[in-house]
Amino acid sequence: MEKNKIIGISIDGIIRDNITQIAKIYREETGNKPNLPLKDYNLIEMFPFDSMDQLNEFLYITCPLETAGHAKEINLSSMNDVNILCDKSRKQNCKIKIISKELGKSKSATLFFLSKIVCQVDEIIFVTSEEDKWNHCDILLDVNPLTLKSKPDGKTSIKLETEYNEDITSDYTIKSVKELLDEKFLEEVINHEFVSYEEIK
């Protein structure tokens, strides 16, 4: 019997408008302007610090509540759409998990963010790298180019298109989570068939 598939949904860029909030707090805390717009999701270029360690300290130790906890949703229905998707997925014997790269204090800040917007997803997983998200799901909805490019064989990627991932390939591309609420489209994604190189020849 085939196991039920798991759809992983990333928080940043899908539910949480992290870039706008980080830019706001970066200006307040450093007095510097971020390098906008974001073109390739290289945060150290957008928010210049002397080192990656300093950027990580800013995001995960010094200001996680301000950057992660107090951020706004991508749009007013982002979380509600994911909650509805949970219900629709259950009817197709599929489970939704929220998966997010978080370190240190950003874990509690992210839980605070999700509680504010009435998250009804049963399982929330924190990972320490973008690539590790794939270890917890069969299908992943994400915006991060690094995550999308690291997709293992046998997995399905869904890209929510943004200005910084237009050139990244994925199995499916959507403009909004609402597109996954279409039951026929959701069924197609869940039952996505993989074509091997040998089958193409």
pLDDT at 201: 41
Identify whether the C-beta of residue 179 lies closer than 8 Å to the C-beta of residue 166. no
pLDDT at 200: 38
For residue 131, the Cα-to-chain-centroid distance in whole angstroms is 12
Residue ranges of the chain with per-residue pLDDT less than 50: 1, 196-201
pLDDT at 198: 42
Q: Tokens 């805390």 map to which residue?
A: 29
CATH number assigned to the domain covering 6-16+75-200: 3.40.50.1000
pLDDT at 40: 80
**Other C-beta atoms lying within 10 Å of the C-beta of residue 59:** 26
Q: Which residues contact 95 (CB under 8 A, 6 or more apart)?
A: 4, 5, 6, 7, 89, 122, 123
DSSP assignment of 85-104 equals HHHHHHHTT-EEEEEEE--T
Q: What is the pTM of this model?
A: 0.92
